[in-house]
Amino acid sequence: MMTKHQKFMNVDFSPNPLKIVNQEGKVVLHFDEILKEWEELENKKNADGLRFDEEFLELEVDIYCITFLKFRTPDPILHRELLLKSVIAYIMQMMLISLVISETDGFSSAHDGTFKLNCSRLICAFLLHMSLVPEMRCAFSLMNYAKHNQDKFYKQSSLYPFLIGMMKLLGCVTTELVNIFIIIQSTLVSDVIKDFIAFGIIAKIDDMMALSMKNFNVEQEI
């Protein structure tokens, strides 16, 4: 029994290239045209990726972005100094988060809480998330730029710039997740707010590191 599509169309596999014809023998779809359009789209996408330049690069005033930009200059001594500061900022973030987690009893200490307490949890989690969204978007932008523009970095290597973007992203994601993990264990609204403020400060350690640098105009660099 013929289906609706088989009644009006036949797929001709014998010719080269592959095509679909109707009962009257008229070509209604040519597969080589589809492949050609697909290749053009792929080439255009790749070309756009290679043209991914500073106008698409979202930057923040922090040590990660400054280090990322400086890797475009031929100054290995400055690279080592800034990379060390970036790693120190990342380690401090992870250490503080680890110390906070070590004082908890895990998910066993989480509880439902009252309506007022849950409202404060939701608001604080949402506010921290909103404050970290630009940071995460910036981190993805750094990694994407490093991936498509290796020739623009020192010695045409984007390994360290990509890792810098990765550290920035991991710092943001870890801070937000652990903040949620901690506030669901808080029993008072005041504790929820204090935890929210504390993790907000931890998330800004990279900004503090940048602003503490001497003889360095952070705003001008960004």
CA 112 → CA 115, 160, 180, 182, 192, distances in Å?
Answer: 9, 43, 13, 13, 13
48-52 CB contacts, 8 Å cutoff, 24+ apart: 49/148, 50/148, 50/149, 52/144, 52/145, 52/148, 52/149
29 and 97 assigned to the same domain:
no
3-state SS class at 12:
strand
Token representation of residue 205: 């350690």
Domain of residue 31 covers 4-51
76 and 154 assigned to the same domain:
yes
pLDDT in tens, 135-173: 999 999 999 999 888 888 988 888 999 999 999 999 999
Weakly modelled stretches of the chain, pLDDT under 70: 1-56, 214-222
77 and 158 assigned to the same domain:
yes
189 and 130 assigned to the same domain:
yes
43 and 125 assigned to the same domain:
no
In this prediction the pTM is 0.71
The closest of 180, 40, 24 to 97, measured between CA atoms, is 180
pLDDT in tens, 64-82: 999 998 998 888 898 999 9
35 and 66 assigned to the same domain:
no
138 and 29 assigned to the same domain:
no
Other residues' Cβ atoms within 10 Å of the Cβ of residue 47: 9
155 and 215 assigned to the same domain:
yes
Domain count, the chain: 2
192 and 114 assigned to the same domain:
yes
209 and 123 assigned to the same domain:
yes
